[in-house]
Amino acid sequence: MTTQTLDRPRAERTAQAPFPLSADRPSFDQVPTYDPSLSLTGNPAYHPSAGQKVALAAVGLAALACLAGWASGTGFSGLLMAVVVLGFGGGGVAYAWLTYGRGHAGTHNHGIMFSAQQARGHAGWLWGILLTGLYVLVYWFPQYLAGLVAVFDPISNLLGYPEGSRQWVMYGSFYTLAVATMGVRAMLKYRHVRYQRIRTASVMFCQLVFGYSLPYLLVFFGQPELYLHYFWPLDYDGLWPDTFGWMPLAALIFGAAMIFIGTPVLTYFFGKRWYCSWVCGCGGLAETAGDPYRHLSDKSLRAWRIERWMIHGVLAFIVLTTLILWANAQWGVLGPVAEGFKKWYVFFIGLMFAGVIGVGFYPVFGSRVWCRFGCPMAAILGLQQRFFSRFRITTNGSQCISCGNCSTYCEMGIDVRWYAQRGQNIVRASCVGCGVCSAVCPRGVLSLESGPLTARFGTPQNNLIEDLDILDAS
């Protein structure tokens, strides 16, 4: 045995072994990952500049304006709305610009795991509880939000929106403001990836136009309030018999064509992403306002098992509900049973799951809880994507180093690394094609692609048992 004098490893010269063992050796699972206080300065990787602090102050001012409007009960129409929109929007965009827009482009998720707000610290839980509470009030007790609702009276008045349903104007305005502001943030954060810029622009456009401007324009001109980017089963009453009483025939034909023809065709070519991360309003909020929480999704096998039962259960539930409602409309035999199905569906899936849990729990369970566990549209698209689509995430040969960035930042809880490290493509029903796994990969291993249906899964590339030809080369 020879040992080079100058190249000796340090451990050989000191009595200390490289890995000291003792009774109190650290168990790395227990290393705290965030500062559990409410302080914004406890994060060692977070060093806000003066400009960032000013921008945050503007956001804080908007929050105060909301509080003032809520407390006053009248909203000081006009002035407060301007402060809220400019504070949240302007302050938010300025903060995003100062954080991500300047300096060097690239994937910078530094400090997220130390952030009390983003890593389920006290601040994150507090924000989650606040959001959830707001949803509960908007859905069931809007009278307690009268002052906050009144902040958006200028818009409600313009539209001639009736008292009693004006909370939806407030909700829609906040929703759209969040998508717009946080959409700019997402575009700046991922500005080094053109796919992300285009995709984010698409969901922002769809929310701003199809989810906000167009429906209110229709209302303004005395037409029915239609949301053209939702159709059955997401707009669950789109195929229910009572809809046929009031919806324009053209809209009914469009909705039916989209679910029975447009959806399978588009999913065949592009995967479910054409809808979930490019068009959908829920997806739009998840990709923008939800982006800071995308890593909180559960990646365990247990979560995947629950996901498959739950989302397909919801799909079965809405198919059954729709059939029962039609049977009842036709023969009237089921009476109260049919109405019961309808009520339970609207309450549990439409309100509880899509709103309260789906968005309110962003800071706790991540941004796609609804899309992953409860959305019947995602279930249909997922089945099509899994069994009949050209879409896949391609893994680049053997280049994976198992670092885990892809799995960590997958908002749908897919353990992307499990496939990547064995050199296999990812074909999963839940993948919404956001492309962030590809953006955060430090080794250029992942890319979203469409190709022939055959060999979609690819051949495992760095598993010698399943890929013996590597060794047979000699």
| Interface positions, 91-130, toward other proteins (CB under 8 A) | 104-107, 109-115
Q: Which is nearer to other proteins, 155 or 401 (CB)?
A: 401
Q: Does 167 bind other proteins (CB under 8 A)?
A: no
Give the binding range for other proteins (CB under 8 A) out of 23-31, 216-224, 236-244, 317-325.
Answer: 23-31
Phi, psi of 392 (to 5 degrees): -160, 160
Q: Which is nearer to other proteins, 17 or 250 (CB)?
A: 17
Residues of this chain, 183-202, that bind other proteins according to CB under 8 A: 192-195, 198
| Pair 409, 440: CB distance under 8 Å | yes
Q: Which is nearer to other proteins, 29 or 163 (CB)?
A: 29
What region, left, alpha or beta, does residue 347 occupy, with left being phi > 0 and alpha being psi -120 to 50 degrees? alpha
Please give, one letter per residue, the 3-state secondary structure of 346-380.
HHHHHHHHHHHHCCCCHHHHCCCHHHHHCCHHHHH
Q: Which is nearer to other proteins, 50 or 465 (CB)?
A: 465
Q: Which is nearer to other proteins, 71 or 301 (CB)?
A: 301
- Cα(435)–Cα(186) distance, integer angstroms: 13
Give the binding range for other proteins (CB under 8 A) out of 82-90, 277-285, 370-378, 399-407.
Answer: 399-407
Residues of this chain, 376-395, that bind other proteins according to CB under 8 A: 394
Phi, psi of 446 (to 5 degrees): -120, 140
Q: Which is nearer to other proteins, 111 or 264 (CB)?
A: 111
16-to-22, 88, 261 alpha-carbon distances in Å: 12, 56, 69
Q: Which is nearer to other proteins, 224 or 451 (CB)?
A: 451
- Cα(228)–Cα(247) distance, integer angstroms: 12
Q: Is the peptide bond before 233 cis (omega within 30 degrees of 0)?
A: yes
User: Least Å distance between CB 60 and other proteins?
Assistant: 24
User: Least Å distance between CB 420 and other proteins?
Assistant: 10
Size of the site for other proteins (CB under 8 A): 82
Q: Does 435 bind other proteins (CB under 8 A)?
A: yes
Q: Which residues pair with 447 in a beta bridge?
A: 394
Q: How many residues does the chain have?
A: 474
- Cα(208)–Cα(204) distance, integer angstroms: 6
Q: 192-216 in b/e burial notation, b at 16+ Cβ within 10 A?
A: ebebbeebbebbbbbbbebbbebbb
Q: Which is nearer to other proteins, 104 or 245 (CB)?
A: 104
Tokens of 21: 């063992």
Q: Which is nearer to other proteins, 41 or 143 (CB)?
A: 41
User: Least Å distance between CB 236 and other proteins?
Assistant: 33
User: Least Å distance between CB 471 and other proteins?
Assistant: 5
Q: Which of 10, 24, 222, 245 binds other proteins (CB under 8 A)?
A: 10
How far from the centroid of its chain's Cα atoms is residue 319's Cα? 25
User: Least Å distance between CB 298 and other proteins?
Assistant: 11
Give the binding range for other proteins (CB under 8 A) out of 26-34, 153-161, 335-343, 371-379.
Answer: 26-34
Q: Does 23 bind other proteins (CB under 8 A)?
A: no
The residues, ordered by sequence, that sit 6+ positions from 44 with a Cβ below 8 Å of its Cβ are: 111, 114
Concatenated DSSP letters for 274-340? HHHTTT-HHHHHHHHTTGGGGGGS--SHHHHHHHHHHHHHHHHHHHHHHHHHHHHHHH--STHHHHH
Q: Which of 407, 411, 414, 429 binds other proteins (CB under 8 A)?
A: 407
Q: Is the dihedral of CA 180, 49, 437, 121 positive or negative?
A: negative
Looking at residue 469, its amino acid is: D
Give the binding range for other proteins (CB under 8 A) out of 11-19, 137-145, 217-225, 334-342.
Answer: 11-19
User: Least Å distance between CB 425 and other proteins?
Assistant: 10
Give the binding range for other proteins (CB under 8 A) out of 2-10, 164-172, 211-219, 241-249.
Answer: 2-10
Q: Which is nearer to other proteins, 279 or 349 (CB)?
A: 279
Q: Which of 1, 249, 250, 333 binds other proteins (CB under 8 A)?
A: 1
233-to-214, 339, 369, 376, 417 alpha-carbon distances in Å: 21, 18, 18, 6, 32
Residues of this chain, 33-52, that bind other proteins according to CB under 8 A: 33, 43-45, 47
